[in-house]
Structure 1
Amino acid sequence: MFYPSDAEGIGGEYSGETHLAPDLLAARPWLTADTPRREVLTAVMAQEWTGLLALLGEYGPWVYAPDVAALQGLSRAYAALVSAATPAREEDVLAAARRHAGGTASLLARLEATDYRQKERGAAPETLAALEAAFWARAGETAAARRAEWAARRLRP
C-alpha cells in the first residue's frame, strides 16, 4: 500500500476477514484493541507508512511489512512454526496452542483447521528440481517483460 486511500479501501474491503484486525493489532500494542476493524489498516499505515499486506498461509497470520525483506523474514518464521508442527501429534499442537496468550487466535489452532500434516515426507528430487526450474523460468520471463516495457518507454519520442 502506498497511499492512505489504499489503506482505507483495502481496510473496508477486507474488514470481514476474521483474523486481519486481530493479527495486525496483536503485533502492535500501541494501537488500541477497540479500533474498528475497517480502520485498523489505516491506523497501521498512519504509524508505519507504506508497506505490504500479506496473508501467510491459508488461515494466517496476516502481516503488514515495510518491505520484501521483512516479509520474507516473517514468512520464514511462520514456515519454521508450520514445519515444526507438521510431524507433531495433534494433541501436542493443541496443547501448545492453549498456551498462546496473544490477542488473536493461536496460529497453531488455526493450522489444525487445515490438512497440513503430510503423510509422506516430501516431494521427489525430480519434482523439486522441476519446481525450482519453473520458478526461475517465470522470474526470467517477468524480468524480460519488464525490461522490454522499460526499453519501449525510453524509445518513445
Structure 2
Amino acid sequence: MITAHLTDAEIQLYVAEPEVTSEQLKIHIHDCVNCQTRAANYRLLFNGIQDQAKPQFDFDLSNLVLKQLPEPKRAFPWTAILISVFSVSLIAFLTMFFWSYMEAVITGASMVLMVTAITAAVIILIFQAVEMVKTHQKQLHTLLNVKKLQL
C-alpha cells in the first residue's frame, strides 16, 4: 500500500483513464479520504470542461483572411527556360569547339582514371538526390502539420 499521498498527475490519470491506473493507486484512493476528495474535484473539473459549449465565431474567419491574401501569380517561368537554353547552348558550343582536345584527353587518359571520375560524379549526384528528397519530405511534413493544426 502507498503511504504518501498521490501526486496531481496520478490523480488526474486515475480520473481520466482509470483502466490504466495501477491497483496500488486505486487501493490508496479507496482508503485515503484526502485523495478521494482531490479525485472528486478533478472529476468535477473534467466534467465541467467537457460540458462547456465550444466557442464559435458569429462570422466566417477563414473567408475574411482569404479575402486579404494576394492572388497567386502563375507566371510562365521564362527565367528558368532562358537559363536552361543558355546553359545547353553553351555546353553544345564548348563541346563542338573543344572536341578535338576532349577526344585527345579521353583517349590519352587511363581507364582507371576515367572510371574513377565517372564513379565520383555518380556518387555526388546520388547524394544530392537523396538530400533533395529529404528536404522535400521535411517541407511536406511541416506543411501537413501546419494544415492539420488549422483544421
TM-score clears 0.5: no
By relative contact order (CA 8 Å, sep 6+), the higher-ranking structure is 1
Greater gyration radius: 2
Q: TM-score, normalising length from structure 1? A: 0.31
